[in-house]
Structure 1
């Protein structure tokens, strides 16, 4: 079979190669999946560079999620071959992949492959983080000041989904961008206010928008200067959840702000969240994600699809500025 592999960490476009490998065999509790499609997520790119929480065991496959059909099952697995599933594993950019049966999510017939391929990483993270933010819908704060959720790099696939979810829940959002070309699209998705951090002072604009109270929570994917400025936008008792580091730079923490505004700044990693939350919460989130995507209430746009032999072009496209949709890898 054909699969993407790398021998050492580095720049993805330079080190990722399409190679021929033996067909993998599922062990106890595992299934083999004939892969239909897989997305290219920021976590995939960081993993290839050895910058992610999970370290590659070299030589390593790449890609953390995808969709396909069950092709073979290992000992102790009671599942039907041919069943269409979304799954997580290491090495989903391949014609076949091995996954633990507990990582599988059955895909409804009405859900397109392009959506099913993106079912786990971004949608689960979005729903979980909006839950963790604790931001109340506008209707619930009618008798008091409105609460706000702020999204850095809101033009990303994650940001667009978070905007749509918040719009459905009645949560007011502020999003940061570096260019204005996506502003109309973001507003159409439900973004309440947009700030161009290249031309506007973030903290000043947030103060104007929120009548001086600041935001309740920031979901940050950028780090560096953007996160440093976003901390200043938090109101009394506010929280910043950091889930990415696109700038590859750590933010600077202002101890005075943290003390006198009683701020909380912490990281968020979906893998740990899935481990620590009550199973009933996981099940509820999974149901909500599937319902939102199956119904079309939340859209997951796709910009381009590449084959395994064009993986260098695919990862370069995924890292290009100004994208409006996800880049997918299709094995065949």
Structure 2
């Protein structure tokens, strides 16, 4: 038997339980991994609370990314062997392929031999954040050195990944954050400008930074009332990519800006990359290249031991973190 994290009813962090279960051997095309660390993501808190895009049967496991050592491989798996140090690309269903456990099973196509320079905690913090930011900024928006990009929820792991990716392609990263508490850290992390919502008028400040041309690309995880000032500061033909929806307030449709500037407002899920083998290979090459040359550096805020998974989820929901939260096993 092995220990895994599950929840039997939707609720807060206290709904999570560590339980012993029988894990079957890996099947055709599958790999079993002994986990050394796994990363936490907002999606997992939403699944636990019952407000995620996926509806689980209960009890349910959860988790989207992990790093560890291959314990066993199923039939038909090539290029991987027991003992390999690997990390996991987020699956399309964390209910089907949960990552919170001492032993987990994933499709071989989602397994990456990570660079030996990465420790377990860092390897567990790579794929969700960089694949999300890459898919939005590089695959969809075609961000380039002539662009400025506005990044909301900038101190999240995806926000920080987006700042690094923008810098890697020579674009100007404009970070948006709720309070001034993380302003200096965002500048140190590579943001060219930081806009503090509590202290500044968002549309006015963005217009001051971008000038009359406006901002072509916006990466937003929040929605809600900031939609209108964000679009007000965008350029003609600009694109706003929405990947989160963290605000509990209604999101207005900014009709005058959308029509007047012929804007594109686009919803985005990382599954658009992970579910497309060709796009996934291009993303992996970009991300691994950035890790190897040092332009992409996962920022880990805090680590928790496996037995403190409830406390780790409480911290995840506190919004106090700067970067990734990782659990060691």
How far the C-alpha of 1:19 sits from its partner, in A, is 0.9
In the alignment, the residues of structure 1 paired with residue 228 and residue 286 of structure 2 have an alpha-carbon distance, to the nearest angstrom, of: 33
In structure 2, what is the Cα distance between the partners aligned to 1:3 and 1:19? Answer: 6
Whether the aligned pair in 1 keeps the contact of 2:150 and 2:174 (CA below 8 Å) is: yes
2:100 to 72, 93, 106: 93
CA deviation vs aligned residue, 1:40-85 (integer Å, no higher than 9, x gap): 1111112222322332232111111111111111122233111111
Question: What is the Cα deviation at residue 193 of structure 1?
Answer: 1.4
1:42 aligns with: 42
152-161 or 91-100: bigger deviation: 152-161
Contact 1:243 1:268 in 2 (8 A): yes
1:136 aligns with 2:136: no
Counterpart CA distance in 2 for 1:31 and 1:273 is 21
Partner of 1:144: none
Q: How far, CA to CA, are the matches of 1:245 and 1:228 in structure 2?
A: 14
Structure-2 residue corresponding to 1:60: 60
* Count of aligned residue pairs for this structure pair: 320
When structure 1 is superposed on structure 2, of 62-71 and 161-170 the one drifting more is 161-170
Is the CA contact (8 Å cut-off) linking 1:203 and 1:233 kept in structure 2? yes
Which of 309, 313, 323 matches 2:307?
309
CA distance in 1, matches of 2:170, 2:108: 36
Shift of 1:294: 3.5
Kindly indicate whether residue 240 of structure 2 is the aligned counterpart of residue 240 of structure 1. Answer: yes
Alignment of 1:176-215 (within 5 A): 176-215=176-215
- Assess if the C-alpha contact under 8 Å between 1:24 and 1:97 holds in 2: no
Root-mean-square deviation over aligned CA pairs: 1.7
Please list every run of 5 or more consecutive structure 2 residues that lacks an aligned counterpart in the other structure. Answer: none
Moved beyond 4 Å, runs of 4+ = none
CA distance in 1, matches of 2:58, 2:81: 32
Q: Does the 8 A contact of 2:29 with 2:74 survive in 1?
A: yes
Whole-Å separation in 2 of the counterparts to 1:62 and 1:73: 22
Q: Distance in 1 between matches of 2:301 and 2:188?
A: 18
1:36/1:69 contact within 8 Å kept = yes
Query: Which aligned pairs between 1:3-22 and structure 2 lie closer than 5 A?
Result: 3-11=4-12, 13-22=13-22
Deviation track 1:234-268 (CA, whole Å, cap 9, x = no partner) reads 12111110010112344101212211111110111
CA contact (8 A) 1:86 1:106 kept: yes
Tell whether the 8 Å contact from 1:137 to 1:170 is kept in structure 2 after alignment: yes
Cα contact 1:220–1:240 (8 A) shared by 2: yes
* Range that drifts further, 317-326 or 216-225: 317-326
Paired residue secondary structure (1:182) = helix
Match of 2:328 in 1: 330
**Secondary structure at 1:67's aligned position in 2?**
strand
1:240 alignment partner, SS class: strand
